[in-house]
Amino acid sequence: MKGATLITGGSNGIGRAISLARKALGEDVVVLDRVPPPAGDGVTYIEADLADFAGLESLIERITIEHEVLRLVNCAGIALIAPLADLSIEDMRKTMDINVLAPAILAKTISRTMREVGFGRIVNISSRSALGRPLRTAYSSSKAGLIAATRVWALEMAGTGITVNAIAPGPIETELYRQANPPESPMTQEVIASVPVGRLGTPEDIAFAADYLLDERAGFVTGQTLFVCGGLTVGSITG
């Protein structure tokens, strides 16, 4: 059951690692992002602003005409870091729009094709921060909301051949992570030291987990959240 895989935020970091992994399996990969992926990735790139709800659903409908999308990875997201005292309503709304509402629109639209075929895989990239982390009211709330949505969609689509699961990464070595967590920062060093396996994760660690959940043979796994965090959820959490 090949079909195409659509990945939001697939031009860099975790999304790109998943994109390359699916491409290596011979799949047709469609990447939605605001910036193009590196030349040579061999994917179909479509520029998209996930905050533009008016055009997003019609864009996805056009994509599904040209590509039989049977796998969806909602990877795009934003992380606004601020204490509650400084958090604006606009910050909260913007974060929820990108991290929860856009994935809902994508899942709603693409699942129509999946239902017709009788097969589909949806993987939402959440975060370990869904468990709570200082300065991340908007981000943690949105990622917890995405996990809740994952469970609801899994129940609604059960019996249709569609599975819906989430991956909650811990600290992953990406450019965005380094921008938000400078290597020389004491807090960054404390986070790394608290990871039981003794290192930061890599985008490829997440891609490997996504491969499992996207596999045709994973049809009995749905509504689950896979924490890929080096043991942070069962060890001492300082970050």
Q: pLDDT (tens digit, 9 = 90+) per residue, 19-61?
A: 999 999 999 999 999 999 999 999 999 999 999 998 999 999 9
Q: Is residue 237 part of a domain?
A: no
Q: Is residue 239 part of a domain?
A: no
pLDDT at 19: 99
pLDDT at 236: 58
pLDDT at 185: 85
Q: Is residue 175 part of a domain?
A: yes
The 69-74 sheet, strands edge to edge: 44-47, 28-33, 4-8, 69-74, 120-125, 162-169, 225-228
For the chain, the domain total comes to 1
What CATH number is attached to the domain comprising 151?
3.40.50.720
User: Buried b / exposed e across 201-230, counting CB within 10 Å, b at 16+?
Assistant: bebebbbebbbebbeeeeeebbbbbbbbbb
State what percent of residues in the chain have pLDDT above 70. 98
Query: Using 50, 70 and 90 to split pLDDT, how confident is the model at 87?
Result: very high
- Is 139 noted as a catalytic residue in this protein? yes
The C-alpha atoms of residue 161 and residue 157 are separated, in whole angstroms, by: 8
Q: pLDDT (tens digit, 9 = 90+) per residue, 166-182?
A: 999 999 999 878 877 78
Q: Is residue 232 part of a domain?
A: no
Report whether 228 contacts 167 (CB < 8 A): yes
What rounded mean pLDDT belongs to the chain?
Answer: 95
Catalytic residue among 45, 139, 177, 212: 139
pLDDT at 133: 87
Q: Is residue 176 part of a domain?
A: yes
Three-class DSSP category at 46: strand
- In 118-202, which ranges are continuous DSSP H helix? 137-157, 175-180, 186-194
Q: Is residue 234 part of a domain?
A: no
- Domain containing 73 equals 4-227
The C-alpha atoms of residue 97 and residue 76 are separated, in whole angstroms, by: 11
pLDDT at 177: 83
- Which pTM does this prediction carry? 0.95
Report whether 195 contacts 231 (CB < 8 A): yes
Q: Is residue 189 part of a domain?
A: yes
